[in-house]
Amino acid sequence: MSTQTLSRARWVRGCILRLLLCLSAALVCALLAGLTGYILLRGLPHVTWQLLFTQSSVLRGTRGILPNLLNTLYVVLAALALVLPLGVGAAIYLTEYAASPRLVRAVEFAAETLAGIPSIIYGLAGMLLFCQLLGLGTSLLAGSLTLAVMTLPIVIRTTQESLKSVPQSYREGALGLGSGKWHMIRTVVLPPAMDGIVTGCILSAGRVVGESAALLFTAGMGMSLNRFFASWENFAHSSGATLTVALYVYAKERADFDTAFAIAALLMLFTLALNFTAKWAGRRLRRRKGERNE
C-alpha cells in the first residue's frame, strides 16, 4: 500500500516537472515567435518605396529613412575598414610573432574584458576621445571609430582562434623550405584561416548594424541625407543617425511608431541576413577546404 502511494506520488511529481519544463520551453518559443511576429506584422506594412528611398520632410509631411539606411551602410563599411587591418594585424602579431606568452595572455584577457563592457561606455569614451579631444564633433566618422574600437576584441579573438587552428606542421614545412616568416604567414597560415576571419568580420558587421547606445553620443541623431561618397566633409563633420538610432528618435521623440516598427522589422531582417551570410560563408569556405581534403 505504502509503496503504491509512494510510486504514485513520484509519478505525479514527474508529471508536474515535465509540465513545467514544457511550459518554460513553450513560453520561450511563444515569446520569440510573438515578438518577431508582432514586429514584422506591425512594421512590414509600413515599409514602402517612399520610406526606403526618401528622407523625412516636415513640409511635405512625408517619412523616409534613406539617410539612416545610408548612414548604417557608411558606419558598417568605415568601421570594418578600420577594424579589419587593426584586428587581423593584432591577431597575427599575437599568434605568430609575440615572443612572450605573458604578453599574449594579458592581451587576450584585455580583449575578453573589453568584449564584455556595455556599449554605452564605448559611446561615452568615444565621445570624450574622438568627438572632443580629437575635435571630430558628433559625426559619422567619430561613430565609426567608436564602433571600430568596440568590435576590435571580436575580430582579434575570432582571428586568433582560426590562426591557432592552423597545424604547426604547415609553418615548419614552409620555414624548412627557407621561406621567410611573413611569406610563410601569407602563403600557408592565412589561407586556411580565412573562413574564421570572414565569419568574425561578418559577425562584427552584425554587431555594428545593431548598435545604438555607442552611437547616440558619437554619431548623433542627424536625420538629413549625408553624401559620404560625395563629400568627406559630410562624413567627418556632420552627425547622422543610423537605423537603430533613428528607431529611437522616431519612437521616443516623434512618437511615430509606424516608422519605428518599420525600421525594427528591417533591422531584424538585416541581422538575420547577416547571420545567415556568416554561416553560409563559413560553411562554404570550410567546404572548399574539405573538398581539397577529399
Binding site for another protein (CB under 8 A): 99, 101, 167, 169-170, 172-180, 183, 187-188, 191-192, 289, 291-294
Q: Residue 72 carries which DSSP code?
A: H
Place of cell 597560415: 189
Asked if residues 247 and 260 have their Cβ atoms less than 8 Å apart, the reply is yes
Minimal distance in Å, beta carbon 97 to another protein? 12
Q: Residue 282 corresponds to which cell in the numbers above?
A: 563559413
Minimal distance in Å, beta carbon 290 to another protein? 10
Closest-CA residue to 151 (of 120, 92, 111): 111
- Which residue's CB is nearer to another protein, number 14 or number 167? 167
Minimal distance in Å, beta carbon 95 to another protein? 13
d(CA 151, CA 148): 5
- Which residue's CB is nearer to another protein, number 126 or number 192? 192
- Which residue's CB is nearer to another protein, number 61 or number 101? 101
Q: Which amino acid is at 73?
A: L
- Which residue's CB is nearer to another protein, number 174 or number 249? 174
- Which residue's CB is nearer to another protein, number 5 or number 100? 100
CA angle, residues 223, 226, 230, in degrees to nearest 5? 170
Minimal distance in Å, beta carbon 165 to another protein? 12
Q: Residue 181 corresponds to which cell in the numbers above?
A: 616568416
Q: Could you tell me if residue 62 is left (phi over 0), alpha (psi between -120 and 50 degrees) or otherwise beta?
A: beta
Minimal distance in Å, beta carbon 180 to another protein? 6
